[in-house]
Structure 1
Amino acid sequence: MAITTLRELYVDQLQDIYSANRQSLEATKKMRDKASESDLKSALDDGVKGIEDGMNKVKNLIEGHDADPTGEHCKGMEGLVREANAHAINADIEDEDVRDASIITQYQRMVHYGVAGYGTAAAFANRLGLKDDAATLGKCLDETREGDRRMNKIAEREVNPAAAA
């Protein structure tokens, strides 16, 4: 189907976010299981819960526009998950601290994709006058950014110093 309106593009972007979240959820669970540092494990566990929450919110938005949440496969997140598998989940990294640093790197790359998606969709919702949608997406964006800030703190205070030692 050709996209001819901003509303159609908006729904397409919501479907992309849903697909991206679905893919990043599985990778985040695997990274959580590979992580060794306790604060990192906890942050990744909260990340899993946040992704699930975001998926539910986005699914409801998509269905509110009479569309199928699974109507899109996000190739961008597919590539990021492939990188997470190669450089963190299945990587041959013997040092636990270095592996944790790599997990943070890969997780943050996926999170940054989420920030871009939520931010763009929220801007479209605002332009379309979809105030409730925009508020929901803004909340998802804020929570995603907070997860990114938390990872930065864990990296700077705990994981990176240990990995450099």
Structure 2
Amino acid sequence: MSIDTLEDLYLEQLRDIYSANMQALDVTDAMARAATDPQLSEALQAGSRGIKGGIDALDRIGKRHDEDVGDGHCKGMEGLAKEARAHAIEQSFGDDAAKDAMIITQYQRLVHYAIAGYGCLAAFAERLELDDDKFALKDCLDASYDGDRTMTDLATGGINEDAIA
């Protein structure tokens, strides 16, 4: 498919972030199960709920445009998800706090991809005067920022310090 207009780019990026969310959901669920700190596990479960909310919002946006947003594959998130599995789930750790610190690291990498994607999409929607889309995408962006801040708070609130030992 040729991308000739901002609308074409917008629709292509909706498919990209949808695929990214599907992949991020799978690995986030796995990291929630792997986390040893109960607050971290809870935060990751909340992150999964947020990702599902984003998927639902993207489905609704796609329907407004008669677009199958599930028809795409995000290679960027494929790499991030693969790295998250390798470093946070499959990696051997001698210390639970170090494992949890790595889980936070990998989750934040996933979230930063979402922040970039939702931010661009919200800006595109604004320029295309798609107000309903813009508001939904900004909600997804805000939720992504909230998830990132939660992980930073957990890391700086004790997990990183516990991992020093």
Unaligned runs of 5+ in 2: none
What does residue 41 of structure 1 align with?
41
- The structure 1 segments of at least 4 consecutive aligned residues displaced by more than 2 Å after TM superposition are none
Deviation at 1:56, TM superposition (A): 0.4
Deviations 1:50-78 (A, max 9, x none): 00010000111012111112221000000
1:69 is aligned to 2:31: no
Q: Name the count of aligned residue pairs.
A: 165
Question: 3-state DSSP class of the match of 1:107?
Answer: helix
Deviations 1:82-121 (A, max 9, x none): 1001100111112111000000000000000000000000
When the two chains are superposed, the root-mean-square deviation of aligned CA atoms in Å is: 0.7
TM-score where L is the length of structure 1: 0.98
Match of 1:86 in 2: 86
> Which amino acid letter does the alignment assign opposite residue 125 of structure 1?
A
> After superposition, where does 1:117-132 map in structure 2 within 5 Å?
117-132=117-132
TM-score by length of 2: 0.98
Task: Tell me which residue corresponds to 2:134.
Answer: 134
Q: Are residue 101 (structure 1) and residue 111 (structure 2) matched?
A: no
Counterpart residue identity of residue 162, structure 2: A
Partner Cα separation in structure 2 for residue 57 and residue 32 of structure 1: 23
1:14-36 CA-to-partner distances (Å, cap 9, x unmatched) read 11110000000000000000000
1:154 and 1:61 mapped to 2: Cα distance?
A: 33
- Structure 1: runs of 5+ lacking an equivalent: none
C-alpha separation in 2, matches of 1:70 and 1:56: 11
